[in-house]
Amino acid sequence: MKRALLLALPLLCAAADAPAPVPPPASPPDTWLPRTTADIQVLDKVNAQSGVVTLKVGQVAENASLSITLRGCAIRPPDLPQDATAYIDVADSRKGAPGFHGWIFANEPALSMLEHPIYDLRLLACR
């Protein structure tokens, strides 16, 4: 047993002196890759109806009393945890109804969202 350990000792020392493998370069954590199209789910909480609106950046979609404008869309690089984000403007044609201007996230829908008594919006994907 001691002889085997003595024979293996030079190999262990050589392995300790070898340089550590270099991992592939990773994207910085604040990197987002721009995309041109977003899929947004619109839920009517009163009627329990949902649908998906597909928008290109700069495009406006009308859904019931909502007007949804996509201002930007981005995804995370493949070497980071997957997520998508979109900057949207939402206006409601009904008097006194709330609007929304800001970023929404696919993986964290509650982080920043439209607070509307009738509608919920959720980002499904950016492509």
Q: What is the mean pLDDT of residues 50-77?
A: 96
Q: What is the mean pLDDT of residues 64-84?
A: 94
Q: Which tokens belong to 126?
A: 């950016």
Residue 97 to residues 74, 87, 119, Cα–Cα distance (Å): 28, 20, 11
C-alpha to C-alpha distance for 74 and 36, rounded to whole angstroms: 8
Residue 76 lies inside a defined structural domain of this protein = yes
Residue 122 lies inside a defined structural domain of this protein = yes
Nearest Cα to Cα of residue 41 among 112, 118, 106, 102: 106
Residue 26 lies inside a defined structural domain of this protein = no
Residue 51 lies inside a defined structural domain of this protein = yes
Give burial (CB, 10 Å; 0-12/13-18/19+) of 24: exposed
Residue 121 lies inside a defined structural domain of this protein = yes
Q: What domain count does the chain have?
A: 1
pLDDT of residue 1: 54
The domain in which residue 78 lies consists of: 33-126
Residue 16 lies inside a defined structural domain of this protein = no
pLDDT of residue 77: 93
